[in-house]
Amino acid sequence: MSSPHLVFNKTNFLKLCKKLARKDADLAAIIKKHGHPPMWTRPASFQSLILFILEQQVSLASAYAAFKKLKIRIGFVTPAKILALSDAELRACYFSRQKIVYARELATAVKTKKLILKRLKHSHEDEIRIELKKIKGIGDWTVDVYLMHSLQRTDLFPLGDIALVNSLKEVKRLHPKITKEKMLEVAEPWRPYRTIASMILWHAYIKKRNIKLQG
């Protein structure tokens, strides 16, 4: 591999926030008003991927409620434990019919070693995207948040994330009907740290709406 992947961590996260703030007055204003965003990370594990699946297209509160219910029932989430649950038991943990299928597909892929998560850690982002998207129910948004939060790659900008898109429109005072291409142009100056810019924008969104996060 020609060059190491850029990752953020406890050592460089605040420096990267400050670097972006120096380049962008709107990001600087968010930090001045609300402080630095939390460094939102999760382990690069099967359990995290299950949570990301639960977070698809629902509120964070709904996803955390389902995840909490699942953890109470089975403890640390493993492929074997997911596969041992019946549809009724997963429904009792607030899994939709689709997400039952997705969780089982992922559990089967990991258990049969069709997907080996440890091998993804140092892979190129394109390779990771191809491997994860082979699993039914894992699309670009889920890959993006796994790369951001679990592998701590610095340059993701998930336009499939409604909160991020809304925050970008608010902070940059963009037209409500702006295209994805134009939004990517707005984010272009933040390369190669668009993940950190995303976290600053999420921070603004959460603070503005007084959303209480858990989990």
Q: Is 89 helix (H, G, I), strand (E, B) or coil?
A: helix
Q: Which two tokens stand for residue 164?
A: 């991020």
Out of 26, 144, 155, 161, which one is annotated catalytic?
161
Query: What distance lies between CA 145 and its chain's CA centroid?
Result: 2
| Closest CA relative to residue 44, chosen from 85, 99, 83, 5 | 5
Residues recorded for the chain = 215
Is-catalytic flag, 144? no
- Determine the 3-state secondary structure of 39 from DSSP: coil
Contact 61, 90 (CB under 8 A): no
Residues 6+ positions from 147 with CB-CB distance below 8 Å:
125, 128, 153, 156
The residues annotated with a catalytic role in the active site are: 161
